[in-house]
Structure 1
């Protein structure tokens, strides 16, 4: 009988080592989730986006964009260069209310991640953070030329994508040569000066 009990001891030992409740080993920690990209450092690194950076900070849209990305939302941003802002009449941007400045930034943010090749099959008008894409509000249309030049039209401005600044699984940022002004701003009597272009 004593031999029989001794032969069970190795089996009990093996069972206790393989039983998760008896194991002293804790599970391996899961890798920390990657931090969402911050738009301001991306633009600073690229250079020549100082006006856009100031506008993002003043409207706190930099925080909103980060929050959206941090919640796994995917976005595409069209980033006008400093030169693009200088092409606007000086009084135009200054005359915008803070709400209009927020809408201006939102109009440059697409509610999905679009790779450069995605623009060939995208449905117009694009949906932006600014809202309604109906006539005289916030319509934005994109077309790809045969030479793979991406053009954007808002009904007020025609712009061209001049490069890719940043791209990952959550965010794509494209450089544009003009500030994308929405039709809603141009039909307001307060902003008729936009038609001088």
Structure 2
């Protein structure tokens, strides 16, 4: 009986040790409490600029309010602070409040996508951003060997690790700020127009050919006239 008691104690200690080790090695879970986009970004760090844009434009609050009611979900591409620092200096100085809202919404898809889903999605994919006349801004995705790239027409960058990926919200890190075509300060579109073909000299105009022919005939006539005059003089 004593042996059974000792064995029970040893087993309990052993199981407790396993539980402790498992707790230490378990992957870090998502932020506790209600689902929060800004909480996810703040927890992961290096998204200071994007968080500021979400707050100033109130897009962060809008997404947060709709997370509890949306059936489609949202996919957010979060540029790092380094991505913003790599932009052309003064790019945002001339943007009004509406343009800033468009820029932030251009990083939001009105549907939940996993990384695998983005790899095989049907392009183009609409974003939450629209122009003043109602035109929807779109993104294009390409995937190969489990690597997904996103293209705005101006910017192309890999879609990196998932900061959060559980419906209704997916948040992915990107190393560049996505700039739509025609956005103030953005570079030319990636698909540059083909260079104009070189025009090779064509045939001479008909008038020039006629003039040249007439000149040749006149020259031959003059030579023939001189020759006949010389023959007459000699005779």
TM-score (norm 2): 0.61
Matched, 1:195 2:193: no
Mapped contact 1:36–1:69 kept (Cα < 8 A)? no
CA-to-aligned-CA distance 1:3-28 (integer Å, 9 cap, x gap): xxxxxxxxxxxxxxxxxxxxxxxxxx
Q: 1:153 aligns with which of 146, 151, 154?
A: 151
Greater RCO (CA < 8 Å, at least 6 residues apart):
1
Q: 2:59 aligns with which of 41, 58, 61?
A: 61
Q: How many Å separate the matches in 2 of 1:59 and 1:36? A: 22
2:142 equivalent in structure 1: 143
1:23 equivalent in structure 2: none
The number of residues matched between the two structures is 154
Query: Structure 2: where are the runs of 5+ without partners?
Result: 1-32, 190-235
2:98 equivalent in structure 1: 99
**Which region of structure 1 is more displaced relative to structure 2, 51-60 or 64-73?**
64-73
1:78 equivalent in structure 2: 77
Q: How many Å separate the matches in 1 of 2:101 and 2:151? A: 20
Q: CA deviation at 1:137?
A: 6.3
Q: CA deviation at 1:68?
A: 1.5
Q: 1:177 aligns with which of 151, 159, 175?
A: 175
Query: Structure 1: where are the runs of 5+ without partners?
Result: 1-34, 186-190
TM-score (norm 1): 0.72
Larger-Rg structure:
2
Q: CA deviation at 1:70?
A: 1.8
Runs of 4+ residues over 6 Å off in structure 1 = none
Q: How many Å separate the matches in 2 of 1:160 and 1:121? A: 15
SS in 2 for 1:66: helix
